Amino acid sequence: MKTVSKVYAFLVFLFLYAPIAVLIVFSFNGSATMSRSVWSGFSLQWYARLLQDRMLLEALRNTLVIAVIAAAVSTVLGTAAAVGINGMNRWARRAVMNVTNFPMVNPDIVTGVSLMLLFVAVSKAMGGRSLGMVSLVLAHITFCLPYVILSVMPKLRQMDPNLYEAAQDLGCPPAASFFRVVLPEILPGVVTGLIMAFTLSIDDFVVSYFTSGTTQTLPIFIYSMTRKRVSPEINALSTLLFAAIILLLIVINLRTAKDGQEKTAGKER
Amino acid sequence: MKKRIAAFFAAILLVFAPVSAASAAETPARPGVTINVYNWGEYLSAGGDGSMNVNAEFTRRTGIRVNYTTFEDNESLYSKLAGGGANYDVIFPSDYMVARLIREKLIQKLDYKNIPNYRYIDKAYRGGVYDPKGGYSVPYTWGVVGIFYNKKYVKEKVDSWKILWNPKYTGKILMFDNPRDAFGIAQKILGYSYNSARSDEWNAAAKLLEQQKPLVQAYVMDQIFDKMSSGEAWLAPYYAGDAVTLVRDNPDIGFAVPTKEGTNFFVDAMCIPAGAKHKREAEAYINFLCEPDVAAANMEAVGYSTPESAARKLLPQEMREDPIIYPPEAVLRKAETYTDLPDDVSLQVDALWAQVKMGGAGQTVTLIAVLAGFLAVYIGVVVFKKIKRKRELR
Amino acid sequence: MGKAKSAAFPYLVWMVIFILVPTALVVVFAFTDRSGCFTLKNLEGVGRYSNVFLRSIGLGAAATAVSLAAGYPLAYRIARTHARRRNALIMLVMLPMWMNFLLRTYAWMTLLEDSGILNHILRFLGLPAAHMINTQGAVVLGMVYNYIPYMILPLYSVLTKIDRSVIEAAQDLGADGRTVFLRVTLPMSMPGVISGVTMVFVPAVSTFIISRMLGGGSNLLVGDLIDMQFLGSAYNPNLGSAISLVLMVLILICMGIMNQFDENGATEGGVMV
């Protein structure tokens, strides 16, 4: 019984990692013709080319810029919103949470299409300006917000509501009592939200695809490559990103072995 | 090796081409701005293997930066333009799409004073039916459509589009993933014009494509490079210009123009969309691509046919005289061009195309039934829970 | 707490502008023609594509079922291991999601092709080659591959929370392994099953990349259809909006059904674990 379940777990992990192994192995392929399935010797040529590909690096830069801005703004806005929603009465809270859940339930493609309709209408009104970084950032903040709120909310619920009022009764101004009393309590939730927003933004393809105008983010760049010949440069890049993530996760795990479990549970999707 | 030599000559020519560089410098095109160029995939020399990196070279000479993105077919280019929200400065539509864009006022007139290299474009390629007065476009390439096949597996003579319907090759056939090219093949088999206005002819062509569907491995565009060179697919209709690239990757691949029924002759042109923010710089870009040495270096890498005799002269001999890239008169005489279709025909083609790809049209009733079914389940569950709760309360 | 409420104000304005207005725009587009006049033609037109809806629902449901069947045992096993190894294992489940999904799906193409790696292995083992790519099975596989972590994670977090003493109590009362699972563990993990099912089904039904890469462009799904109308080969944003609207309604009904099964108020945090 024990071996059966071990073999089973192994098979599922094989399923999950086989394509990644293929990607990584072929990033070291020495073939000249961008072949995906014929191995012709070890080489680092794709890594060398990667560092010279201006378009690709620009797409990477765009992706990171968007992710940083979107994560920061959605965390601030979302945390404030969570505090506000927590202070509402039952009825209002329910109504707002329904609106919050909506973009998470709604298929990405519909979110993307509807935002595109909005941005195009606005850009036409503004004299045919192109969609681009601005619309991408706005769209990313929009789909990140619910996740921030949902990771902050439980922490607020756990907090003793009297704490905040007690601080104010003791003469602490509202803003200061928020930063001194409330924020430290809910910080783990805020950090989780921030990390989630950042990763969601970096990984997003569908919404970006519809709202990018002429700007390329990394997923869009990769998409347009898969429509022709995927250069192994992309394999090289994703191998590097993958290595960076593993490194980051190891560091985080070592530092906060206790808190780790909570965070991972929240990071889905 | 020959490629290297050609690249070397191209480099020398670049050094000795100060005239054009100077003329670009005289113009008020502002260095430092970024133009948005929207081109077909695999349609510009990107550098590597000693070929010219056209965009980098343009930036080096003029100081204008290029944001280069690619599309897959004319129809998605049209969607992007008509939808708004993407402001391009240079686009590369094909003939019939140029006509449609002119008709819908989505592209603007060019100032040929700023494109002096237009003089290199051969007379034969100027003022095509798609842009009769020649005010909106500058030809970039031209070519014909034919069939790529893997000689290892396809032994028979390829001279008819009907081979794409041969059940012997089931699962090894690729097909165009855009309506005009796909329908065009069916239309030629049926002996119709590409530009038919008769809806029964389009219906018949759609039926033929539906019959072909079980044989088709995949509907693709530029993925054919990958699938043909790996031997994954054996037969694929595509543009003649890509023969150079494909044969270089896999020498087993052959190309033939189906002479029995005739084929499509196309011109891909460079245009500037209405509302482009950097018209002056866009014209400088178009002018740059018309520079014979640039055009030659570009065409050598891309493999398509240039409309400039001056550029063709600079190509290596085996390319200059390649009967695939520059097909004989007999083939060209039998070729037909696509023209802009009227709106109602165009809508019908879109609907038929979706129908071919999804495998027959469905019934509205089915969809309503599905929605009603889900709704019924929902109501059922709600009612069931209410009853259960009531019973529990009792 | 009157002041606290106002902290949500910027968010509410944001949601109105970027969620409610765009959704309203989809509805407006669905009910108008190109010149902006009211019409029902678009919605009628959606009926032509009912086959695509059926296929999407079918493949999405199949992918959900496979994910559940394959994901449950693994989640169960991970939940039963020691706490320290548990974290590492669940990390292993999540890790692939950090890699771009387009690339991972593309890698499946390399694996599944007729001349691909799996067929090389089959041939090496002396087995007959199998045709896998560009079939509906390949599309389902792609969906399962991409979304199975969304199934495993909620199941895992519910399963770890089940009190061991409940199971021990059942065992003490003489229930065998099967009975314990069917009568205790499974019912108690239902919230995880439900959120897993929704989190796999919704993206699977509306995907448009997986079908294109692994389905060869002939297994058209609703997502492909919507893309075709907006940025693809058949520009018609009005029809595209109508299709989006129908898809949205369909998903909302599904969510409604799922929420009914979730006992403890799914509106708040039901989608998250």
Residue A103 lies in a domain: yes
Query: Does B104 touch chain A if contact means CB atoms closer than 8 Å?
Result: no
pLDDT at A38: 72
Same domain, B126 and B6: yes
Same domain, B40 and B176: no
Q: Mark out the alpha helices in chain A (DSSP H runs).
A: 2-26, 45-50, 54-86, 90-105, 108-125, 133-158, 161-169, 174-177, 183-203, 206-211, 218-226, 232-255, 260-266
Same domain, B179 and B297: no
Average pLDDT over residues C199-218: 91
Average pLDDT over residues C204-222: 90
Q: How far apart are CA C117 and CA C113, in angstroms?
A: 7
pLDDT in tens, B221-276: 999 998 998 889 999 999 999 998 899 888 999 999 999 999 999 999 999 999 89
pLDDT at C26 over 50: yes
Average pLDDT over residues C97-122: 89
Same domain, B8 and B111: yes
Q: Is B89 helix (H, G, I), strand (E, B) or coil?
A: coil
Q: How many domains does chain A have?
A: 1
Residue B338 lies in a domain: no
CB atoms < 10 A from the CB of A185, how many? 15
A-chain CB neighbours of C102 within 8 Å are 205, 219, 222-223, 226
Residue B279 lies in a domain: yes
Closest CA to A153 of A145, A165, A162: A145
pLDDT in tens, B48-64: 778 899 999 999 999 99
Q: Which of B81, B222, B365, B378 to mutate to test the interface with C (most CBs of C within 10 A)?
A: B378
Structure tokens at A45: 């040529």
pLDDT at B71 over 70: yes
| Residue entry with tokens 């090289």 | A236
Same domain, B159 and B259: yes
Query: Does C230 touch chain A if contact means CB atoms closer than 8 Å?
Result: yes
Q: Is B361 helix (H, G, I), strand (E, B) or coil?
A: coil
Is C273 in Cβ contact with A114 (below 8 Å)?
no
Same domain, B15 and B160: no
Q: Could you tell me the residue range of the domain that residue B276 belongs to?
A: 2-137+271-327
pLDDT at B3 over 70: no
Q: Is B336 helix (H, G, I), strand (E, B) or coil?
A: strand
pLDDT at A128 over 80: no
Backbone phi and psi for residue C135, each to the nearest 5 degrees, phi listed first:
-120, 170
pLDDT at A249: 80
User: Nearest-CA distance from C263 to chain A in Å?
Assistant: 16
Same domain, B9 and B33: yes
Residue B335 lies in a domain: no
Question: At C263, is the pLDDT very low, low, confident or very high (cuts 50, 70, 90)?
Answer: low
| Residue entry with tokens 């891309």 | B302
Residues 6+ apart with CB under 8 A from B309: B120, B122
Residue B386 lies in a domain: yes
Residue A18 lies in a domain: no
Q: Mark out the alpha helices in chain C (DSSP H runs).
A: 2-6, 9-15, 21-30, 41-46, 50-80, 83-94, 101-112, 117-124, 136-161, 164-172, 177-180, 186-188, 190-206, 210-214, 222-230, 237-261
Q: Which of B224, B358, B364 to mutate to test the interface with C (most CBs of C within 10 A)?
A: B358
Average pLDDT over residues C109-123: 90
Question: At B308, is the pLDDT very low, low, confident or very high (cuts 50, 70, 90)?
Answer: very high
Structure tokens at A128: 């045919």
Question: At B24, is the pLDDT very low, low, confident or very high (cuts 50, 70, 90)?
Answer: very low
Structure tokens at B144: 């014909």
Residues 6+ apart with CB under 8 A from C159: C75, C76, C79, C185, C189, C192
Structure tokens at B118: 């237009």
Q: What is the mean pLDDT of chain B?
A: 90
Residue B389 lies in a domain: yes
pLDDT in tens, B116-140: 999 999 999 998 899 998 899 999 9
Residue A33 lies in a domain: no
Query: Does C249 touch chain B if contact means CB atoms closer than 8 Å?
Result: yes
For residue A131, the 8-state DSSP code is P
Average pLDDT over residues C211-231: 91
What region, left, alpha or beta, does residue B64 occupy, with left being phi > 0 and alpha being psi -120 to 50 degrees? Answer: beta
Average pLDDT over residues C35-54: 92
Which strands form B90-91's sheet, in the order they lie side by side? B65-71, B34-40, B90-91
Q: How far apart are CA A213 and CA A66, in angstroms?
A: 14
Average pLDDT over residues A122-134: 87
Following DSSP, what letter does each residue of C48-86 receive, concatenated? GGHHHHHHHHHHHHHHHHHHHHHHHHHHHHHHHS-HHHH
Residue B100 lies in a domain: yes
Residue B333 lies in a domain: no
Average pLDDT over residues A65-88: 95
Strands B107-108 and B253-256: unpaired
pLDDT at A31: 75
pLDDT in tens, C131-167: 999 999 999 999 999 999 999 999 999 999 888 888 8
| Residue entry with tokens 């009792």 | B394
Q: How far apart are CA A108 and CA C207, in angstroms?
A: 9
pLDDT in tens, A140-157: 999 999 999 999 999 998
pLDDT at B272: 97
pLDDT at A46 over 50: yes
Average pLDDT over residues B75-103: 94
Tell me whether 0.85 is exceeded by the ipTM. Answer: yes
Question: At A98, is the pLDDT very low, low, confident or very high (cuts 50, 70, 90)?
Answer: confident
Residues 6+ apart with CB under 8 A from A4: none
Closest CA to B3 of B238, B221, B248: B248
The enclosing domain of B38 has a CATH number of 3.40.190.10
Would you tell me which residues 76-115 of chain B have a C-beta closer than 8 angstroms to some C-beta of chain C? 76, 78-80, 82-83
Q: How far apart are CA B182 and CA B191, in angstroms?
A: 15
Q: Which residue has the higher pLDDT, A129 or B270?
A: B270
| Residue entry with tokens 């099975």 | C137
Closest CA to B74 of B193, B239, B318: B239
Sign of torsion, CA C212 C215 C219 C223? negative
Q: Could you tell me the residue range of the domain that residue A201 belongs to?
A: 53-266
Q: How many domains does chain B have?
A: 3
Q: Which of B20-29, B337-346, C248-257 has the weakest average pLDDT?
A: B20-29
Same domain, B30 and B122: yes
Considering only CB atoms, C91 lies closest to which of A5, A37, A249, namely A249
pLDDT in tens, B355-371: 898 887 888 899 999 99
pLDDT at A170: 86
The whole model's pTM is what? 0.91
Average pLDDT over residues B337-345: 95
Q: Which of A110, A163, A178 to mutate to test the interface with C (most CBs of C within 10 A)?
A: A110
Class of domain C50-261: mainly alpha
Counted across chains A and C, CB pairs separated by less than 8 A come out at 249
Same domain, B241 and B278: no
pLDDT in tens, A153-180: 999 988 887 887 888 888 888 788 888 8
pLDDT at B15: 44
Structure tokens at A264: 């991972």
Q: How far apart are CA B165 and CA B149, in angstroms?
A: 14
HSE-CB for A171 with a 13 A CA cutoff: 0
Strands B90-91 and B138-150: unpaired
**To the nearest 10°, the Cα dihedral for B240, B244, B250, B253?**
30
CB atoms < 10 A from the CB of C24, how many? 14
